[in-house]
Structure 1
């Protein structure tokens, strides 16, 4: 018995090491490109390639009318000084070199004669960076201060669109997690690292010289390959050994830690940007939305529709639902349960990798722990919708995304994710089966 236990332990260590090697090979392609930007010929350390930009930005309007051509400057005690001029939509952006305290001043001499700075409006304004990479500053202009600035309805519409985009992004990753839970019963804590893997792989491939579209496609395929490898080398052997769900969940926690720090070793602890991370702001039906957010919304919705059709209209979808309902009965009816679960792992991992890429554009930025940061919200969406139900994960994730973004109307931006934890606790207390889940005993 002791010999069998030792052999199983050696096999487990070998599989985790093999997965770490796979991640290293996938991420190692970024090393040459990063290295040549990291150190100058003189040996001095340089700013990493595509370093995250810190910005101070805002929109200058008199009511609903944008004001163009107004000069706004930012300065810091260390001597930094920069300025920007509002565009035709009244928007301005100043890129700053690092986090700290800045003085932002509007040049009142550049304002139109009939649009003075509102009475009592503070100018200059002191801005101090916290955890956010973008700080907003709004100057009120015009005589009628009650009408200055966007209305509550327009702010609510913008936050709702951003929340829908974020919710659909969450749904991509939550659907994969829900598929795995539905077919195997496993609560996979390493799912967040699959999100990170997709974003980091896309960054590494683009740094190596791949066109952006090719880097994104290959990163998603690599995510599917890593999902296949996990099931083949780790989860299938554990299932066949009859391992209980709690020990398997603990293994997933260990795997998450291993993957996170392998990614940290190859990628580093800095936050980097994917190509085209800074996108222009578009006006769509009177709602301001960044181009990347709009593209993320469309891509997420299209992929979710494809997955829904795959589950509802194909033999694989029927087989997946059969395995989720009763694996033994599905096997007795001729369904290859292991093959179905293997495909579920591949599809779920590809969705997580795609979600990681979209999350990198939404944040914006690629970091070694970005999957860990979003994992709580994924679990909140799955719990709210109902554990093991794919469409429940979709509904729950969209609701969590809307709540997170709309809450910023009243809460500080750094507190918006606290609501995800509150939702998960309340659902587990009062409706543990979720909105679309079945009422049953768990455990």
Structure 2
């Protein structure tokens, strides 16, 4: 089983790069002020807000690389701008101060120029130009470039009064606390999606590679329902996505996995089939949803709240608290309810559970429905906090899901929760010393170290070979 887990991680790390190279993003529409290029899907973007907090439109921003202009954009009515880039690299950004409204200036002296902004492959990096009134004195430009990085687990919405520094710029208590909150937010979302993956493995011994597509489907369904012409509140759209994800997962068990189990299909064969199912669903979503990056318009822009040294938007705070509340409910469900006890019995010994009168097929179907619903809901939460919904978002999160499940212990729902929280914290706290583009690598390094010391994972049980 350890070898199979290693194969999963190797396939994920390799396939992620390959799929990104094959399919580029289609031109963005809707709320995006500029189209994303198909050349690697890199861009620089941001939102300009004036001293009164209102969007600033009509401001021109230019990106240069090695002295050559590579793109420009003008902020739209919502203050948003986005510059597609020809590829990854280091860029200089210039804000044309002559296009600023009367009475508005950059907060920092020389703040209209941001130098050496590094953009990694497949990164849409968010940059902030803080603006103040001309009646206020400008500040000295800080040594660190005032921009924030939007990567997995980080959002593009930052308070205009400041900016998030690049990884490795020093350690302060406020920065540590901020990254801890970001890590808990990301870890809780990973945990919601990973619990179902772990429960399915525990009851069926199937490593469901298509679980990431359930995450994407949840986010996409909520987007479709919450936008025109329905304009359903996102909360209700999220509930609908949960139901759709649960029904789809249950349908897959009834129509695909249960017949295979009854025919005695081997686990390796079923694992390969799940890879094929993942590819089919992913590219079906691409055809139906397109390669655009969309966002939930109802929560696109929110002013950040200051809670002591921590800056967080109301939506991220609600998502984080809701995620932990859902994890508690899942724990209560598994520990206190009849179905939860039956699921644990099936996971411990399927034959003995069946001999005891437990309807194993019904329990497994319930686990698929719960796991699919949680994955879909996690996709909605992930799309809200990331500010983007796109066709392969679940696949991009799948590596972290597997890392959380394996770190916590294969088949253990509680282990998946603990492992996912650790993965989220490590990936974010690594930004204290290293670039954000490496944050997932450090989470996987912790996974490797833990497995070397405890091969069964943190809460997993050791199994005797032979």
Q: For this structure pair, what is the TM-score category when the shorter chain's length is used for normalisation?
A: 0.7 to 0.9
Alpha-carbon displacement from aligned partner over 1:114-133 (angstroms, at most 9, x marks no partner): x985xxx7763235655443
Distance of aligned partners of 1:358 and 1:297 in 2 relative to their CA distance in 1, 3 Å threshold: same
Alpha-carbon displacement from aligned partner over 1:163-204 (angstroms, at most 9, x marks no partner): 101100000011111110111111110100110110011112
2:422 is equivalent to residue 399 of structure 1: yes
Distance 2:285 2:104 in 1: 50
Alpha-carbon displacement from aligned partner over 1:55-103 (angstroms, at most 9, x marks no partner): 336999xxxxx9999x99752256645599xxxxxxxx96224234531
Distance of aligned partners of 1:171 and 1:82 in 2 relative to their CA distance in 1, 3 Å threshold: closer
Alpha-carbon displacement from aligned partner over 1:379-430 (angstroms, at most 9, x marks no partner): 1111111111111111110010011111122222222222233233333433
Report what 2:404 is aligned to: 381
Report what 2:247 is aligned to: 225
Asked whether the equivalents of residues 178 and 309 of structure 2 are also in contact (C-alpha less than 8 Å), the reply is no
Shift of 1:277: 2.9
Report what 2:205 is aligned to: 185
Report what 1:103 is aligned to: 94
Report what 2:152 is aligned to: none
Report what 1:55 is aligned to: 45
Asked whether the equivalents of residues 58 and 136 of structure 1 are also in contact (C-alpha less than 8 Å), the reply is no
Trace 1:287-436 onto structure 2 (pairs within 5 A): 287-436=310-459
Asked whether the equivalents of residues 319 and 335 of structure 1 are also in contact (C-alpha less than 8 Å), the reply is yes
Distance 1:413 1:279 in 2: 23
Asked whether the equivalents of residues 46 and 126 of structure 2 are also in contact (C-alpha less than 8 Å), the reply is yes
Shift of 1:229: 0.2
User: Which of the pair is proportionally richer in helix?
Assistant: 1
Distance 2:244 2:403 in 1: 27
SS in 2 for 1:288: strand
Asked whether the equivalents of residues 380 and 421 of structure 1 are also in contact (C-alpha less than 8 Å), the reply is yes
Report what 1:209 is aligned to: 230
SS in 2 for 1:271: coil
Report what 1:124 is aligned to: 113
SS in 2 for 1:158: helix
Asked whether the equivalents of residues 167 and 397 of structure 1 are also in contact (C-alpha less than 8 Å), the reply is yes
Report what 1:141 is aligned to: 139
Distance of aligned partners of 1:58 and 1:157 in 2 relative to their CA distance in 1, 3 Å threshold: farther
Report what 1:90 is aligned to: none
Distance 1:270 1:434 in 2: 38
| TM-score, length-scaled by structure 2 | 0.72
Distance 2:351 2:378 in 1: 32
Asked whether the equivalents of residues 48 and 80 of structure 2 are also in contact (C-alpha less than 8 Å), the reply is no
SS in 1 for 2:83: coil
Asked whether the equivalents of residues 49 and 272 of structure 1 are also in contact (C-alpha less than 8 Å), the reply is yes
Report what 1:255 is aligned to: 277
Shift of 1:111: 10
Distance 1:395 1:306 in 2: 15
Report what 1:281 is aligned to: 304
* Deviates further, 266-275 or 332-341: 266-275
Distance 2:141 2:281 in 1: 57
Distance 2:290 2:53 in 1: 42
Whichever of the two has the greater Rg, that structure is: 1
Shift of 1:248: 1.0
| TM-score, length-scaled by structure 1 | 0.76
Distance 2:394 2:190 in 1: 11
Report what 2:66 is aligned to: none
